[in-house]
Structure 1
Amino acid sequence: NPGDSVTLSCGVKESSTGWRFFWYRTVPYTAGLLSLSDRSYSVEPLSGNGTSEDSYTLIPAGPSHTGGYVCRAGRGDPVYDTLYSKPQFLWSGEPQPSVSLKMKPNRTQHFTSKSLSLSCEEKGNTIGWKLKRYREKAVESECGSIWGSIAGSKCTIMFIFSWDSGVYWCESGSGEYSNAVNITVAVGHLILESPAYPITEGDSVTLRCTHRYQETNPIPKVDFYKDGVLIRNETTGEMTIPAVSKSDEGFYKCKSNKAESPESVVRVRGEKIIMITLHFHLWSSEICSVKKHTPGLEL
C-alpha cells in the first residue's frame, strides 16, 4: 500500500564479510545504460557507491516505485563483483473502488495457446484507463504497444504463452490504479483455478485442479499443497474450504500422478463489517402505533 515502507534484501551465497551492495531499478532498454537479459531491459543505479548494509528501504513506497529491482555485491581491490540478481517486482498503488480489472476466463492460471480477454471497468466510464503489465523480463508496457489488441476498453491476447505471465493492472492518466492480478500461463497439463482477488474471512472458497484436456482426461485423484506441504487428497479434482481464515492464506498448487500445476497465492482479507443505521422520523402518535403492532420493538 502507498505509504508503507518496503525493504529490499540482497544475499550473497558466500558467508564471508566485506561486501558492498549495489541497488538498481529496471527500465526499458536504453542506450548508454547497463543492459541485462539480452537487452530486454536496462538498469538505473539507486545508490551511487553502494551500501555496506545488505538491505535497502523505500520510505514510503508509492505508485512511482512500481517496477523491478535488481542488486549485486562487490568487494576487494581490485573489486570483484557478483552476478546481478534476478529482478524482483514491486507493485504499489491504492486501488480505486470505482474501477476494476476483469478477466475472461476469470482465473489467475491459464493454459498456453488459449485466448485471454482483460478489461478495465469503471462505473459509468471506461475512458482514460490503460491496461498495463509487468513481466519477468522486467519491462512495463501497455496493451497494444507490443502485445494484445485493443477494442474499446477490452484487451485481447489471442494466443497466450509462458512469457505472458506477469502482473496486470489498470492505470489512469492521472495515476489512479485498479486492483492488480498476478497471471501465470502454464506450459504443463494442470492448472489450479483459484480466486484472482482476496477472499473475505468467513466466506467459502473452492480450488479446482483442471487438466488441459479435462473432458477427455478427467483427473481421478489429486493432491493439494499449501506452502509446499500436502494438505488434502481429493478424488473430485477440487477442494473446498467452508469458511476461510487468515491461516488459510498462502501458496497453493495441485498435483496428480502425472502432472503438477504452478503455485498461486490465496489472499484473505478481514471479515465483513455491516453497519445498519436506522433513521426514525416519527411523530408521537406514529410511535404509539409502531409499538402497538411490533412486539419487542423498543424506541
Structure 2
Amino acid sequence: MRCDIQGGGDTDWNYRWYKNSPVVTLFSTKTEYRISPVYMSNSGSYTCEGVKGNKFSKTSEAVQLTVSDQPQPVLSISPQWLNPGDSVSLSCEVDKTSAGWRFSWYRTVPYRAGLPSLSDKSYSLQPLSDNVTCEDSYTLIPAGPTHTGGYVCRAGRGDPVYDTFYSEPQFLWSGDLQPSASLTVNPNTTQHFTSKSLSLICELKGNSTGWRLKRHTETAWRSECPSTWRSITKSTCTITSLTTWHSGVFWCESGSGENSNAVNITVNGMSIVQHSLIFHKCMYNNMFNSVTE
C-alpha cells in the first residue's frame, strides 16, 4: 500500500499507518507499507496520514483488504472411460469471481522424492508435457501407451506466483491394446450380490514386478486388499463376503506404475432368486408349523 500527500510540497514527510481506523497503529515511517507474506488475519480497513514535525495531514480514505484462504480448484474429466486413440478433456475450475489464473496439470505416479506429492504421499505428481496453460482446459490425445491414471490440476497468478491448493485427483480409464498387466474377475458376471465371494486376479506381463490392487470410488481411490478381506495370495485378492461398500472401479497397478484394464464392479443387495428362496422357505416353515400344531 502506498500513501501519497497531495499538495504536500517537499518530501520530508513521515507516515503513520492504521488498521481498522486508529485501533491498531502500524509503525512505519515510509510512504509504502508492505505485508509479506499475507495471512487471513491481515484482512481489515487500512488508512494512512502524513506527519512532518507537529504538522499532520488529513487521514486518507480507507482501503479495505480482504484475504481469503487458498482456493480449492475442482478438476473434471470428460469422458472418463476411453477407447484407444480417443481424446479427453481435463477442465480445472477455480473461483469464478476472479480472473487471471494460469493452470498447471499433473498425472499421479508412484511416490518419488523430489516431485510434488499428495498430502498423504501415496502418490507424486508428474507434470504433463505442456504443464502450464492460460486456458482452464487441457486435451489429452492418447496414442499408444494407456493414459489410465489419476490427474490433478492447480492454478496460480501474480508475480510472484500465488498458487491454489491442488485439486482432488480424478481418475481416467483408457483402453490399451497390450496392457502390461491385466485384471480378471471370478465369477465373471456383470452383477454381484452381498454376502457372495469375489476374486480379483492380477496378471503381470513382461518386466513388470510387484502388484497393487486399486479401487476408485466417487470420493477417493486407494491401494486395496487389506487383511479384512480375509484372503490374499501372490496375485489374487478374494473378498469372502461382499457388501455394497465394495462397489467401485478396480484395476491392477504394477510396481513401476503401469496399469491394467479397469473393471467396474457394482454390488447389489439380495437377488430376486434369493428373495424368492427366502420367501418360499418362510412359507414352508409356516405350513410345517401349522401341520405340527
Structure 2 length as normaliser, TM-score? 0.46
**Greater gyration radius:** 2
Structure 1 length as normaliser, TM-score? 0.45
Q: Which has the higher helix share?
A: 2
